[in-house]
Amino acid sequence: MRRISTASLMSLHIVPIVFIRDLSKLYRQGDINIAALHDVSLDIASGEFIVLMGPSGSGKSTLLHIIAGIDRPTHGSCRVQDTDVARLNESQLADWRNRNVGFVFQSFNLIPVLTAFENVELPLLLTGLNASRRRQQVTTALNLVGLGDRQDHLPRQLSGGQEQRVAIARALVTDPPLIVADEPTGNLDAKSATDVLEILRNLSQQAGKTVIMVTHDPKAAAYGTRQLHLEKGEIVV
């Protein structure tokens, strides 16, 4: 198991953001417990672009979900900044996700009846910002992904690449420290995939966001600052 220690991150003047210790996740199938993750320990520095790779069923998506606060570990701890995500209740987790995590999915997960603007605005509805401030932030986020002129388009009026860029704008509109992406290029053509990966890399390198991406694609993985391979619920490289 490979781990970059907190001390070594600190010595490189890098602020750690994710601290995972002895993390396990068991699923029960009938009478049998299946380990999706087995005693994983991992530190991720702020501003890193981590790529999680591995075969299907290796536990990479489970790890991503636990870090992002949409799944819970069976054992161990997962601290993101100062919060032990595993200890938050359902309601606290929802608030925490809204403030701290931006999500990018393989199939974009945009709400089909809402325009690009309204989709990006969704997480801001929970922040208590007034309408003009929300408009300002949404416009900034859409401009950042190059879709400032597509605000009023419905998802079906956009290409796959544009849809994914709207999803990235939605992920960063609340300015979260952590962006998680679950196979974000899986449904895109090569050109669109490159655009999306460039944006994610820029978010990490220029905006200082911590990006954690799950992918099967070695070309996509090359954009990361660090690659972690999982097999049978353990980090092997």
Q: Considering beta carbons, is residue 65 or 150 the nearer one to other proteins?
A: 65
For residue 12, what are its two tokens? Answer: 């490189």
How many residues of this chain bind other proteins (CB under 8 A)? 24
103 is a contact residue toward other proteins (CB under 8 A): yes
For residue 123, what are its two tokens? Answer: 């997480």
98 is a contact residue toward other proteins (CB under 8 A): yes
What character string, x for contact with other proteins (CB under 8 A) and - otherwise, covers 108-127? -x-xxxx---x---xx-xx-
Out of 99, 135, 201, 216, the only residue in the binding site for other proteins (CB under 8 A) is 99
Least gap, CB of 2 to other proteins (angstroms): 27
Least gap, CB of 216 to other proteins (angstroms): 17
What character string, x for contact with other proteins (CB under 8 A) and - otherwise, covers 145-184? -------------------------x--------------
Least gap, CB of 88 to other proteins (angstroms): 12
For residue 50, what are its two tokens? Answer: 């981590």
Which of these, 56, 68, 53, lies nearest to 20 by C-alpha position? 68
In order of 93, 150, 184, 228, 230, the CA distances from 64 in angstroms are: 15, 30, 13, 12, 12
70 is a contact residue toward other proteins (CB under 8 A): yes
Strands 210-214 vs 226-231: parallel, antiparallel or unpaired? unpaired
207 is a contact residue toward other proteins (CB under 8 A): no
As a residue count, the chain comes to 237
In order of 70, 73, 203, the CA distances from 33 in angstroms are: 21, 14, 39
| Placement of tokens 């190059």 in the chain | 146
H-helix segments, 12-150: 60-68, 90-100, 116-121, 131-144
Q: Are 147 and 116 in contact (CB under 8 A)?
A: yes
Least gap, CB of 91 to other proteins (angstroms): 6
List contacts with other proteins (CB under 8 A). Answer: 65, 68, 70-71, 90-91, 94-95, 97-99, 103, 105, 109, 111-114, 118, 122-123, 125-126, 170
